[in-house]
Amino acid sequence: MKKIISLALILLTFALMGCGSDKKDDANLKIVTSFYPMYLDTLNITRGVEGVEVVNLTPPQTGCLHDYQLTPEDMKTLETADIFVVNGLGMESFLDKVIEAHPNLKIIDASDSPEIVPIVEDGKPNPHVWMSITYSIQQVKNISSKLCELDPKHIDAYKRHTLDYVDELTTLRDELHISLTMLPNRDIVTFHEAFPYMAKEFGLNVVAVIEREPGTEPTPQELAETIDKINALPVKIIFTEPQYSSKAAETIARETDAKVFELDPIVTGEAKPENLLDYVDRMLNNALTLVKALQ
């Protein structure tokens, strides 16, 4: 009788251990990414690897994380994460809170590499490095290298997938160089500070930026200065972004007779496995837009 009771207690103990715990089965690896560009990089590296789950932290429509505030649901997602992949360079202003709340969480900073040299503006690094395809390639390599260290049993798959995606990105970069480096007009006015890296890579000149921070409309003085800069250009072009209101850009366009086009910083999108090549597709579309606007 005592043996039966003891066995029952053991079984009950294991059942209770399984209940009330948010942590997933240790046989699986859960990788959380901070926002869409990091999701796409990590998804391409880990695609099809059994037991590896990639989850994007922020909602599809979030955009850049400049002023993003973590929600209780975000913190719950991070509680069950093994690895957190971030862009770095100040993009995730909430990162200190994450580290404080989850000191054992492994964090991969995709921009932590001597090969990535940030553009510094007003004493702060511009974090939009993924908009340079060269730096995007380096971010993929950085994430892959750290994943190989943290999850060595999948190292062969990670390396193989990384090579495939880097080849895809290298071809994309070469094609865009052919399309963009010979454009006769090279001056652009952008919506916010998302495009200096792309401009530098392809020899474009960002003459003015409409909103330094998305959602913060320009002051009357800033508006007047931007109008003056556009009026001085031989070809008057303004680029808006699909994630943000184009109200200020339309005001400037009316004052300058500038044409308005749309460039995508690729910060929003559905976290779905079928979106593997979304970065490639949207960068190609950006190139087509630039050719159409500046030809």
Euclidean distance between the first and the last CA atom of the chain, given in angstroms as a whole number: 89
Give the pLDDT band of residue 16 (cuts 50, 70, 90): very low
Handedness of CA 160, 163, 168, 171 (dihedral sign): negative
**Considering only 37-51, 145-159, 168-182, 215-229, which range has the smallest mean pLDDT?**
215-229
The rounded mean pLDDT for the chain is: 90
Residue 285: half-sphere exposure toward Cβ, Cα within 13 Å? 14
Q: What is the 3-state secondary structure (H, E, C) of the chain?
A: CHHHHHHHHHHHHHHHHHCCCCCCCCCCEEEEECCHHHHHHHHHHHCCCCCEEEEECCCCCCCCCCCCCCCHHHHHHHHCCCEEEECCCCCCCCHHHHHHHCCCCEEEECCCCCCCCCCEECCEECCCHHHCHHHHHHHHHHHHHHHHHHCHHHHHHHHHHHHHHHHHHHHHHHHHHHHHCCCCCCEEEECCCCCHHHHHHCCCEEEEECCCCCCCCCCHHHHHHHHHHHHCCCCCEEEECCCCCCHHHHHHHHHHCCEEEECCCCCCCCCCHHHCCHHHHHHHHHHHHHHHHHC
> What pLDDT is stored for residue 44 in this prediction?
98
CA distances from 220 to 225, 226, 229, 247 (A): 9, 10, 14, 14
**Between 222 and 8, the higher pLDDT residue:** 222
> What pLDDT is stored for residue 22 in this prediction?
39
**Considering only 145-159, 203-217, 232-246, which range has the smallest mean pLDDT?**
203-217
Tell me if 89 sits within 8 A of 38, measured CB to CB: no
- Average of per-residue pLDDT across 218-246: 92
Question: Tell me, which fold does domain 182-294 have in CATH?
Answer: Rossmann fold (3.40.50)
- Average of per-residue pLDDT across 195-220: 90
> What pLDDT is stored for residue 214 in this prediction?
72
For 91-140, what is each residue's pLDDT tens digit?
A: 999 999 999 999 999 999 999 999 999 999 889 999 999 999 999 999 99
- Average of per-residue pLDDT across 187-210: 95
Using a cut of 0.95, tell me whether the model's pTM lies above it: no
pLDDT of 37 over the 90 cut = yes
d(CA 192, CA 67): 14
pLDDT of 243 over the 60 cut = yes
- Asked if domains 24-176 and 182-294 share a fold, the reply is yes
d(CA 80, CA 146): 19
- Average of per-residue pLDDT across 228-252: 93
For 202-214, what is each residue's pLDDT tens digit?
A: 999 999 999 877 7
> What pLDDT is stored for residue 5 in this prediction?
40
d(CA 95, CA 70): 10
* Domain positions in the chain: 24-176, 182-294
> What pLDDT is stored for residue 27 in this prediction?
54
> What pLDDT is stored for residue 182 in this prediction?
87
d(CA 66, CA 90): 8
pLDDT of 25 over the 70 cut = no
For the domain spanning 24-176, the CATH number is: 3.40.50.1980
